[in-house]
Amino acid sequence: MSKNEKFSFMMDGKAVSHECGGDNSKDGNPYFYMLVFFRGDVMNKYNENPDKYRFQKNDPFPDGTFDGQVFTPGDCPDDWSLCFMSHPNGYITAYLGDLGELSHDEQLHWKSHNVLKAT
């Protein structure tokens, strides 16, 4: 079983750090659907390597926010995908539970861009 990293987020005005992954059941991860914030440069790795990563971006919402997905091509041995939301203020968000679907190396990449931001 691979190790899941802890990510930080704000909840009720307090900083919380919790392991990603798990499930959203009663006995699973109670923070599965908590939004975790990242600096926008978390995406640079993927933008700079179009041969290794793909993006699917949906049309923006009226406020300029858009959602999308970053993923590896289907023929990649470490196939993965992550849904995200890009905000006009430069932040990227993803659900804590979804971050657990990433490899440990990818979790470390995202963790290095994790920021605390009140919603």
- In-domain check, residue 24: no
Residue 60 lies in a domain: yes
Asked whether residue 107 is assigned to any structural domain, the reply reads yes
Domain containing 78: what range?
36-114
Assign residue 13 a region: left if phi > 0, alpha if psi is -120 to 50, beta otherwise? Answer: left
15 falls in which pLDDT band (50, 70, 90)? very high
d(Cα 29, Cα 19) in Å, to the nearest integer?
Answer: 8
Q: Please determine, for residue 26, whether its predicted confidence score (pLDDT) is greater than 80.
A: no
- The answer as to whether 6 is a domain residue is no
Give the pLDDT confidence score for residue 81 in this predicted structure.
87
Residue 28 lies in a domain: no
Number of domains in the chain: 1
Segment 97-111, tens digit of pLDDT: 999 989 899 999 999
Percent of the chain with pLDDT over 70: 89
Interval 64-81 mean pLDDT: 77
3-7, 35-39, 52-56 — which is least confidently predicted?
Answer: 52-56
In a domain, 13, yes or no: no
| Section 13-19 average pLDDT | 92
Residue 4: inside a domain, yes or no?
A: no
- Computed over every residue of the chain, the mean pLDDT equals 86
Identify whether 16 is part of a domain.
no
Other CB atoms within 10 A of residue 45 CB = 15
1 confidence band (pLDDT: 50, 70, 90): very low
